[in-house]
Homo-oligomer: A and B are copies of this chain.
Amino acid sequence: MTLPPMNQNVTLAEIAEIAGVSPATVSRVLNGDERVAEHRVESVNRAVRELGYTPSRAARSLATGKTGLIATIIDSNLEVFTDPFWGIVTTAISRTLQQSNLQALLMATPLNKADNMLASSLSSQQVDGAIFFQLHDDSFVAELYKQGLPCVVVGTPKNATSIPFVDVDNAAGARMATEHLITRGAKNIATITGDMSLSAGKLRYEGYESAINGLGRAVDTRLVAHGNFSHESGIEAMEELLDSGVPFDAVFVANDLMALGAMSVLHDHEIKIPEQVAVIGFDDMFAAQLGRQKLSTIRQDIEGLGSTAASMMAEMVEGRRPASRMLQTELVQRETT
């Protein structure tokens, strides 16, 4: 692989000189200004190519007041890092931003300390915008957004705000999962919820509820056990369900991690999946395909989450105000339903 010549210090001025035009013209060509004579455009481009010229971001920023940088902020308090999710989303963001000539700046920082560096670097045009991941406390983002910084959040903000966000359609996905269980012949469908204080937890429960309601029934509260999205909590919730003695022949679990835990207790009790109890999860995490029985689940478009967030940001940078978006989920039937 050969690299273009190292552009130690080729400047726009030199290009101008070589091409025999003024710096302003070079700048115009570089920025795609229409009204430049064809032949000049060519000679400028030739010079650019020959010298391997790349405009200086710093100089451009200074002149335009735009940095071309988008902060991608990860609340490092979050424990969710073990989740492959992050790598995929941030990668998608970066790739998509690049198409709009924007760069992703990765900032991992605790979001709770009020006056951290983050605040000042965000609130003082060091970046053209910021993408946040779902947060417990939106007020920080709300503030920034009010100050005029383009913001988009990945996930559903807790306190309904006007900040544009993109999320998977948790409610629809949960409904789809539950309806799938119904289709497979389940009569008494239990659920293990996630952390209900998170929008994903709440919405997934609501999806389950709406599917049950669609049957013309109310949900039997004895059939809902509360977990917190952790593997451990899935185990406990399933034990609870079993202990209650209320019969059920299927269970919608709010995420795969808990579903895996739930399955293990089902196995321990020698309850056949899916014959005696069908189970379906949510997320389609990698481990869902690894166990002795591959888990049926609801797949979310993680990459789509990132690329959508990025394109929304690109729009905002151009002054538009994109509507929030919900991404469709997909049913993945494997061996547990």
Question: Using a CB–CB distance below 8 Å, which chain A residues touch chain B?
Answer: 1-4, 6-8, 10, 52, 54, 56-59, 61-62, 67, 69, 72, 74, 76, 81-88, 90-95, 98, 103-109, 112, 114-115, 117, 119-121, 123-126, 137, 139-140, 143-144, 147-148, 231, 260, 264, 267, 286-287, 289-292
Contact = CB atoms under 8 A, between A and B. Distances in A.
A81 B76 contact: no
A208 to B, nearest CB: 24
Contact of A123 (B4, B106, B120, B292): B4
| Identical chains bound together, number | 2
Give the one of A67, A85, A264, A286 with max B CB within 10 A.
A286
Contact of A6 (B56, B104, B114, B124): B124
Nearest to A119: B3
7 contacts: A3-B147, A4-B115, A74-B94, A81-B91, A82-B84, A87-B87, A91-B106
Give the one of A84, A115, A121 with max B CB within 10 A.
A84
Nearest 9 CB-CB pairings of A with B: A86-B87, A58-B61, A7-B124, A287-B287, A54-B124, A91-B108, A58-B62, A94-B108, A104-B106
A79 to B, nearest CB: 11
A158 to B, nearest CB: 14
Given A1-B114, A74-B94, A94-B107, 17 more contacts: A3-B119, A4-B115, A6-B123, A54-B120, A58-B61, A58-B62, A61-B61, A81-B84, A82-B286, A87-B90, A98-B109, A98-B117, A104-B105, A104-B107, A231-B289, A286-B287, A291-B292
